[in-house]
Structures are given as structure tokens and as C-alpha cells.
Amino acid sequence: MKPESTDQSADEPASQRQRAEAISELFREHNRALVHFLLTRLPNEAEAREVAQEAYVRLLQLDKPIAASFLRWTLFKIAHGIAVDRHRQRTVRVRLDRLDAVDELDVSSPTENSVMASDELAQVLATLRELPRNCQQAFLLHRFRDLSTVEVAQQMGLTDRMVRKYVQRALVYCRLRLDGWSKEDAMRQVMS
């Protein structure tokens, strides 16, 4: 039995060499196609090349052997997964940036001496009237009456999660409208 296990361990480096050679060949033959495939899912060529490179690295790191006929499919599947992850991260980052910008709006304590604050408040209130009733009410109770989302949920007969969603939508919608977006475009963005 010992001689067989020695033969298997001797075969492993040869197998790894063959796998590395197969991946090198895959790179030479399909890298351009992979980058073009990724360009349909990513914003620019630099990021597409970066994701392609990461996909090759992950393919090399796989523990299980993959038949040469499935290497291309596996590579594209890995690259697609990385591209999807990056898109999700970018989307979340954009939404969080919008929320941070909206938090700069100080509608809870406008000073009476400030004409700008009262103008801004009037714009926010006019913009809020464009939203569905529940969204308006949740926002006003939470931001103007300083009720927690749990208290608002109890008062409106909704879940806390739904109230937070309404407040978030109202914040983003107000920011977009104050930034000059049309009613339709802002509503479409908030509801997506």
C-alpha cells in the first residue's frame, strides 16, 4: 500500500502542473472574451480586467480538480459572481451616500430668524405632499414629532421595518427633488 500512496503523491505535482498549464492556455485563448463579457456587467475596462484577474486567481485556488473542458465555464462563472458582488457593493454604497447627504438636511429645528431654513422647510413640506400618505405620515411623525420608528409603527399600525422604509424613501425622495430631479424620476429612483 505504501508504494501506491507514494505514486499518488508523485502524481499530484504533475497534476498541478497540468492544471496550471491548462489555466495558462485558457488565459491566452479566452482572456479577451472574458474581459468583453465583464464589460457588459461593469462600468469600465480597468475594473473588468481586475475582475478577470481575480477570477483566474480564484480558479487557481480551487481545491477540487476541474476537467479541462469545464475550466472555461468555471472561470466565467467565477468572474460573473465577482462582477455581481461588485455591482451590489456599488449600489449599497451609492444608497448610503445618498442617505448621508439627506441627513445633512436639518428639518427638525429650523430657526425662526433664518429665511433659508424656512424656505428649505417649505420646500421639504411641499415635496413631502408628493409622496403617498403613509410615507408622508411616517416621515413627519418620526422627524418632526421625534417619535421613534417603533412608536410611529404602533401609532400607524405598521411594522417598525415598514416605517423605517417609509422614512428612508421620504428622505431620499426629498433630497432628489431638492437636487432638481423631476417628480417622476425621483419617484422611480426611490421605488426601485
Split at pLDDT 50, 70, 90, the class of 130 is very high
Distance of CA 88 to the CA centre of its chain: 3
pLDDT digits (tens, 9 = 90+) for 53-71: 888 888 888 777 676 668 8
Q: Which residue has the cell 431638492?
A: 178
Q: What is the pTM of this model?
A: 0.42
pLDDT score, position 95: 62
pLDDT digits (tens, 9 = 90+) for 132-143: 999 999 988 988
CA-only gyration radius of the chain, Å:
27
Residue 178 · residue 127 · CB < 8 Å = yes
Question: How far from each other are the two terminal CA atoms of the chain, in whole angstroms?
Answer: 63
Q: CATH 1.10.1740: does it fit domain 2-101? A: yes
| Helix (H) or strand (E) segment spanning residue 173 | helix 160-178
Split at pLDDT 50, 70, 90, the class of 87 is confident
161 or 6, which is more confident?
Answer: 161
pLDDT digits (tens, 9 = 90+) for 158-178: 999 999 999 888 888 888 888
Residue 58 C-alpha cell reads as 480564484
For 111-191, CATH number out of 3.40.50.2300, 1.10.1040.10, 1.10.10.10, 1.10.10.60 equals 1.10.10.10
Whole-angstrom Cα distance, residue 164 to residue 155? 14
Q: In the chain, where are the structural domains located?
A: 2-101, 111-191
